[in-house]
Amino acid sequence: MIPFHEMELTDRSWMEPLFRAEYLDCEEFSFTFCYLWRKAYHYQVARMNDYLLLIAYPQFPERTSYLFPAGTGDLKPVIEALLADASQRHIPLRFHTLTATQRAKLEALYPEQFAYTEMRDYADYIYTAESLRTLTGKKLHGKRNHINRFMEAYPNWSYEPITSANIDECRAMSKQWCLNSDCDQNDDLKKEACALEQAFTHFDALGFSGGALRAGGEIVAFSMGDPLNDDTFMVHFEKAFSEVPGAYPMINQQFVIANCDAYTYVNRQDDMGTEGLRKAKMSYHPFRIVEKYSAIWTGQA
Quick check: 283 and 142 in contact, CB under 8 A?
Answer: yes
With 90 as the cut, is the pLDDT of residue 94 above it?
A: yes
pLDDT at 23: 81
pLDDT at 233: 97
- Among residues of the chain, what percentage have pLDDT more than 90? 97
Condensed to tens digits (0 to 9), the pLDDT of residues 76-89 reads 999 999 999 999 99
Condensed to tens digits (0 to 9), the pLDDT of residues 183-193 reads 999 999 999 99
With 80 as the cut, is the pLDDT of residue 112 above it?
A: yes
Distance CA 9, CA 205 (A): 8
Q: Across all residues in the chain, what is the average pLDDT?
A: 96
**With bands split at pLDDT 50, 70 and 90, how would you rate the model's confidence at 248?**
very high
pLDDT at 301: 55
pLDDT at 300: 73
Task: Kindly state the average pLDDT of the residues 154-161.
Answer: 97
pLDDT at 142: 96
pLDDT at 46: 98
pLDDT at 24: 86
